[in-house]
Structure 1
Amino acid sequence: MIVALRVFFLDIDWVDVLDILLVALLLYQIYYIVRGSIASRVFLGYLLVYLFYLTVKAIGLQLLTTILEYFISVGALALIIIFQQEIRRFLLIIGKSTHIPNSQLFRRWFGQTSASESSTPLKPILEGCKVLASEFTGGLLVIGKNDGLEKYVQSGELLDAVLSKRMLVSIFSQYSPLRDGAAIIIDGRLRAARCILPASENDELPTTTGFRHRAALGISEATDAAAIAISEQTGRIALAIDGELFVNLTSTELEERLQKYLFETSRPRRREEVE
Structure 2
Amino acid sequence: MDFLNYNLFLDTLDITLVGVLLYYVYKLLKGTVAINIFIGITIVFLMYKITQALKMEMLSGILEVLVGGGAIALLIIFHPELRKFLLMLGSANISSKRSFIKQLKFLKTEINTEIDSESIVSACIKLSTTKTGALLVIERNNNLDFVKQNGDYMNAEINVPIIESIFYKNSPLHDGATIIKDNFITATRVVLPLSEKVLPNRFGLRHRAAIGITERTDCICILVSEETGKISLIKDGEFELFESNEDLLDKVKGYLV
TM-score range, shorter chain: 0.5 to 0.7
Aligned twin of 1:197? 192
SS at match of 1:115: coil
3-state SS of paired residue (1:117): coil
Work out the CA distance in 2 between the residues paired with 1:212 and 1:256. 23
Kindly indicate whether the alpha-carbon contact (under 8 Å) linking 1:153 and 1:195 is maintained by their aligned counterparts in 2: yes
* Aligned equivalent of 1:21, options 44, 49, 66: 66
Aligned counterparts, 1:1-275, within 5 A: 13-22=58-67, 30-33=75-78, 87-89=82-84, 115-203=110-198, 205-263=199-257
Task: State how far apart, in whole Å, the 1-side matches of 2:115 and 2:160 are.
Answer: 13
Please give the secondary structure, in 1, of the residue aligned with 2:254.
helix
Unaligned ranges ≥5, structure 1:
5-12, 35-84, 94-105, 264-275
TM-score by length of 2: 0.64
Amino acid at match of 1:155: N
- Whether contact under 8 Å (2:210, 2:237) holds in the other structure is no
1:43 aligned partner: none
Could you say which structure has the larger radius of gyration?
1
- In percent, how many aligned pairs have the same letter? 34
- Please give the secondary structure, in 2, of the residue aligned with 1:215: helix
Question: Aligned pair in 2 of structure 1 residues 255, 28: CA closer, same or farther (>3 Å)?
Answer: farther
| Distance change in 2, residues 1:2/1:86 (3 Å) | closer
The amino acid that maps onto 2:168 is S
Conserved 8 A contact 1:239-1:245: yes
| Aligned residue identity for 1:242 | D
Which amino acid is 2:67 matched to? L
Q: 1:175 to 1:146 in 2, by over 3 A?
A: same
Secondary structure at 2:168 match in 1? coil
Letter in 1 for 2:150: S
Q: Which whole-Å deviations, capped at 9, do the CAs of 1:90-117 have from their partners, x for residues lacking one?
A: 7689xxxxxxxxxxxx99xx9x997353
| Partners of 2:252 and 2:162 in 1: CA distance | 20
What are the superposed Cα offsets for residues 230-272 of structure 1, whole Å, 9 maximum, x if unpaired?
Answer: 1000001111112322134532222111111111xxxxxxxxx
Alignment coverage as a number of residue pairs = 189
Q: Which amino acid aligns with 1:157?
A: D
Give 3-state SS (helix, strand or coil) of 2:197's partner.
Answer: coil
In angstroms, what is the RMSD of aligned CA positions?
A: 3.2
- Distance apart, 1:27 and its partner CA: 5.6
Please, what TM-score do these two structures have when normalized by structure 1? 0.60
Q: Quick check: 224-233 or 17-26, which moved more?
A: 17-26
Once the two structures are superposed, residues 150-207 of structure 1 have per-residue CA deviations (whole angstroms, 9 ceiling, x without a partner) of 122221111211211111111111101111100001101111110011111123x323
